[in-house]
């Protein structure tokens, strides 16, 4: 039985199809989801640091505030916003609307463009608050 199933021809997979916006956003929704999954370690770490007292909190803040730390947080922000906008797209589809190619493609572009704009705005707001 194993031999029979292993020798069956396979249908074409991801790599053979043209990369269209809806497909790319679908893949990115899953990738950002996985990134956020790992990112909860950062959230938990930060909460634990705040609960552990000043010395440890300052140490964690220094790491997160360093250049590599900020780059990770920037990536986390973008992943969160992208996944959130992608989720809203799914809410629209859940109502049975937005499946036609024009609308779904437009929503895909809105997801990527919106996620970049919102991420930049959030970080501008973050820096504006500090200075």
Nearest distance, CB of residue 123 and another protein, angstroms: 8
Residues that bind another protein (CB under 8 A): 30, 33-34, 36-37, 40-41, 43-44, 47-48, 50-51, 53-54, 57-58, 61, 65, 77, 80-81, 84, 87-88, 90-91, 94, 122, 125-126, 129-130
**What is the rounded distance in angstroms from the CA atom of residue 90 to the CA atom of residue 37?**
19
Nearest distance, CB of residue 102 and another protein, angstroms: 25
Nearer to another protein, 103 or 126 (CB): 126
Burial class (CB in 10 A: 0-12, 13-18, 19+), 83: buried
Helix axes 21-52, 101-130, angle to 10 degrees: 30
């Amino acid at each position: 039985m194993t031999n029979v199933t292993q020798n069956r021809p396979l249908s074409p997979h991801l790599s053979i199809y043209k990369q269209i916006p809806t497909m790319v956003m679908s893949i990115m929704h899953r990738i950002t989801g996985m990134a956020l999954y790992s990112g909860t370690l950062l959230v938990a770490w930060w909460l634990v640091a705040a609960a552990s007292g000043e010395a440890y909190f300052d140490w964690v803040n220094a790491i997160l505030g360093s250049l590599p730390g900020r780059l990770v947080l920037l990536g986390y922000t973008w992943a969160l916003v992208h996944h959130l906008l992608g989720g809203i797209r799914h809410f629209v589809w859940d109502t049975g609307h937005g499946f036609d190619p024009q609308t779904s493609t437009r929503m895909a572009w809105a997801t990527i463009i919106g996620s970049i704009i919102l991420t930049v705005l959030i970080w501008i707001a973050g820096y504006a608050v500090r200075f």
